[in-house]
Amino acid sequence: MALEEHAALPCLGGNMKYCCVHCKKCWNHPVEKCIFCGKEITQIKETRYKVIGYTEVFIPSTGNEKVPYFVNLLEGKQGHKIFQKTFQKYDLGKVIDLLEDMVLDQKIGIVGSGLMGIQLAAYMIQYGFPTVLKTRSDDGKKIAYSKIQKNVSKRMSEEEVKKSLQHLTVSTKYKDLAECDIIIEAIAEDITLKKEVFETLSTICKSSAIFATNSSSLSIDELAGMTDRPGMCIGMHFFNPVHRMDLVEVVIGNATTDQTKKIIIDLVLKLNKKPIIVKNSPGYVVNRLLLPQINEAIIMLEEGIASKEDIDNAVKLGLNHPMGPFQLADYIGLDICLSILEVLNKEGTSMKTRPATLLYKMCEEGKLGMKTKEGFYKY
Amino acid sequence: MYIVGAGRTKFGKLPKSLIELTYEAMFNAIEDSPLDIKDIDAIYVSNFLGGPLNGQLHFNSIIASLLPSLNIPIIHIETACASSSVALNQALNSLKNTPNIMIIGVEKMTGTELMSPVDAIAMAGDHENDYEQGLIFPAAYALIAQQYMRKFGISHDVLEQVSYINHKNANRNPLAHFYHKEVTLEMIKKSQMIASPLNLFDCSPLSDGAAAIVISNKKHDDRDIRILSSQIATDTISLTQRADMTSFLATKIAAAKAYKEAGITPENVDVVEVHDCFTISELLALEDLGFCKPGDSSKMIMDGDILIDGNFPVNMDGGLKANGHPIGATGLAQIYEIVTQLRLEAGSRQVDNPEIGLMQSIGGIGGTCGITLLGR
């Protein structure tokens, strides 16, 4: 799996101009002294700009793989012009504040400091969102902080990392989530535990807060039922690794309001990701398609139809998937695969989803994939 | 024709961008000269890998962006490692119409991610034939070294001495890439093999840096340095098309023309900057430039003639080996050193009262050669 470290960062820089007050000349690049008069340069930074032009781009390029996007021509009060890339369309004449738009927007809460919780927090602060991460223990708090720091360091300069980390709060207390606008629950895939979290959030968070779950298969309606605000509960299913995988499944429950849906879709777009809308149902879209395939691959292996390497090659080279089902199952974790399959099987979707015997056996033996150094393959 | 201003940046692995380095060198050159930036009529800019490494071509327009509202003619010249001496040569040709010209050389080679620098530098060779067979740049010079060492029966010790002397000189040059690095002969001997017989200390480093000069068709100041000659010559780029691999014909031709134009012989030259992109190249240069007979350069080196206080100082600034090799800036940095020496402003590495200096600049494996002769 090619986990190339590259993600588009939001446009926060680029709005600095370097001007010689004496010669009335300006540079876009950092200049210390004016070559015309030798005097010191003044740095001018504006944050409020008017949209005076835009183009919508439909052709992808390196670093701009996701299309269409907008390149806006912005003009500041002092007449300085800059470009800004967005995925949202702005009307001509609109005044935008880069600081407000990028940083002061919404406050995000994340419950759970597992693999996904850490990555979500790292991704949020990278995009300038004030973020509170709730962990269980003080030890976990320290570990989470250093993991997030390490995660963002891979894609940012030292200075940017410092700036991003200022947006981060890691806490063991639920009450620190009280002021968050959107809370994303990212704990273990266990309906009982998740219900407890949603119930607790109800009693602590401000009434305007939206509760989202990063569940990969469980029912939004069941979770919403535990809260005082079923209309403001929604699914927000991110994929691992978060900075690489562009999809977010936005899962709409029976009670989810249009307003909640709109706020979450806007957030997903601001995060430079692609939202798809899914009605609440077991496994949503991705896992309902994926897990039966993984299960069938395991059954084929059990039946001796083909080797695991050949089945992986069949899917990679014949179906043009980047990874084969066994590689992917190991990457996801076999315990997680099993739990999703059990949900699909119990809820009775039309596919053949009774988990393969070999899958149960491997989970019992603790061979859960990459994270335990052995699954179908050894790592 | 005079050099009336010279400026450069530090060389090395620097935090500054391609464009920031460019500006710094231009600023320093203008500050050093009696002219104002508004007196400049045209600019020649030398840069080799802006496209493949920095994703920046059309570099003349970048210079224009750094000089808002000047709107003068600016031309980008690329002839690999010889880019800046060729840029100077072309600038001199147009000095009649544009009396004051700035020449800028710049390269940003570290911290770039578009392409491996090894592959990018290999673009200076014959890509279709030689590179496809794995002949990356160090490998080409390694073959020259192998042929030379066999022909003249010298050992690797001579190459080690070239590296050692260049590093010692760089320790006297605060702007050099390896100013602070203490290098011993043992470190050189034990360094990693790159392409046999060349090891790491036979190779010049990847450097960032920029240099700029201002030339004028008239003398403005006592510090101005006379340009006695600037000549360029070319040769087939592939070694397989050459009869002799132990000499660069382009150097011989350009040097002969330069001596003739200046009305001097090699004996008149007091200080020299040669293109030691690999140590072996310094041996070839001393012979091709007529400072000794073929095969005799190792004696000059081992006898210490080429030391700063020797009787024929070479690469006082540390050479490409230790001053650094930001490709597009290298030739202008050599000129900067000769100018500094002739102005008697070289501080602790000042040679005793030099009057004539020569710089040799090589593109690829001798596919282009630029020679500049300067005098007080």
- Chain A CB contacts of B69 below 8 Å: 25
Q: How many CB atoms are located within 10 Å of the residue B180 CB?
A: 10
Q: Answer whether B23 sits within 8 Å of A29, measured CB to CB.
A: yes
pLDDT band at residue A3 under the 50/70/90 scheme: very low
Q: What is the pLDDT of residue A356?
A: 87
**B286-311 pLDDT tens trace:** 999 999 999 999 999 999 999 999 99
pLDDT band at residue A349 under the 50/70/90 scheme: low
**B100-154 pLDDT tens trace:** 999 999 999 998 888 999 999 999 999 888 888 999 999 999 999 999 999 999 9
Task: Give A75's strand partners.
Answer: A50, A81
Q: What is the pLDDT of residue A12?
A: 43
State whether residue A18 sits within 8 Å of chain B by CB: no
- Chain A CB contacts of B30 below 8 Å: 35
* Predicted confidence (pLDDT) at residue A354 exceeds the cutoff of 90: no
**A198-248 pLDDT tens trace:** 999 999 999 999 999 999 888 999 999 999 999 999 999 999 999 889 899
Q: Could you give the C-alpha distances from A224 to A235, A254, B136, in angstroms and in order? A: 10, 9, 63
Q: Could you give the C-alpha distances from B327 to A244, B77, B109, in angstroms and in order? A: 36, 12, 9
Q: Answer whether A29 sits within 8 Å of B19, measured CB to CB.
A: yes
Long-range Cβ pairs for the range A337-344 (8 Å, 24+): A337/A291, A337/A294, A338/A363, A339/A189, A339/A217, A340/A189, A340/A216, A340/A217, A340/A283, A340/A287, A340/A291, A341/A291, A341/A295, A343/A217, A343/A218, A343/A282, A343/A283, A344/A217, A344/A282, A344/A283, A344/A287, A344/A288, A344/A291, A344/A292
Structure token digits, residue B229: 């000659």
pLDDT band at residue A350 under the 50/70/90 scheme: low
Output phi, psi for A2, to 5 deg: -85, 100
* Predicted confidence (pLDDT) at residue A11 exceeds the cutoff of 50: no
A30 → chain B, closest CA residue? B20
Alpha carbon distance B84, B213 (integer Å): 10
- List Cβ neighbours of B18 (8 Å cut-off, separation of 6 or more): B47, B50, B54, B56, B106, B107, B108
A35 → chain B, closest CA residue? B27
pLDDT over 70 for what percent of chain B? Answer: 100
- Between B145 and B96, residue with greater pLDDT: B145
Mutant choice from A35, A64, A158 vs B, greatest count of B C-beta within 10 A: A35
Alpha carbon distance B373, B213 (integer Å): 15
Annotated catalytic residue, options B76, B177, B275, B325: B325
DSSP state of B11: -
pLDDT, mean over chain B: 96
Report which of B27, B35, B39, B38 is spatially closest to residue B3, judged by C-alpha positions. B35
Q: How many residues are given for chain A?
A: 379
Q: Answer whether B66 sits within 8 Å of A38, measured CB to CB.
A: no
Please say whether the beta carbons of B360 and B275 come within 8 A: yes
* Predicted confidence (pLDDT) at residue A102 exceeds the cutoff of 60: no
pLDDT band at residue A104 under the 50/70/90 scheme: very low
pLDDT, mean over chain A: 89
- Chain B CB contacts of A29 below 8 Å: 17, 19-20, 23, 65-66
Q: Answer whether A35 sits within 8 Å of B69, measured CB to CB.
A: no
Pairing state of beta strands B193-195 and B198-199? Answer: antiparallel
Q: Is B203 labeled as catalytic in the residue annotation? A: no
- Between A350 and A230, residue with greater pLDDT: A230
* Predicted confidence (pLDDT) at residue A13 exceeds the cutoff of 80: no
Of A85-94, B9-18, B262-271, which gets the smallest average pLDDT? Answer: A85-94
Q: CA angle, corner B262, sides to B261 and B264, nearest 5? A: 115
**B161-183 pLDDT tens trace:** 999 999 999 999 999 999 999 99
- Write out the catalytic residue numbers of A: 216, 237, 249, 287
Please say whether the beta carbons of A181 and A106 come within 8 A: yes
- Chain A CB contacts of B17 below 8 Å: 29
Nearest to A35 among B19, B20, B67 (CB): B67
| pTM for the predicted model, two decimal places | 0.69
Structure token digits, residue B148: 């030379």
Amino acid present at A112: G
* Predicted confidence (pLDDT) at residue A43 exceeds the cutoff of 60: yes
Of A69-83, A198-212, B343-357, which gets the smallest average pLDDT? Answer: A69-83
* Predicted confidence (pLDDT) at residue A6 exceeds the cutoff of 80: no
**A139-179 pLDDT tens trace:** 899 999 999 999 888 777 777 788 889 999 999 999 999 99
Structure token digits, residue A305: 């139809």
* Predicted confidence (pLDDT) at residue B37 exceeds the cutoff of 70: yes
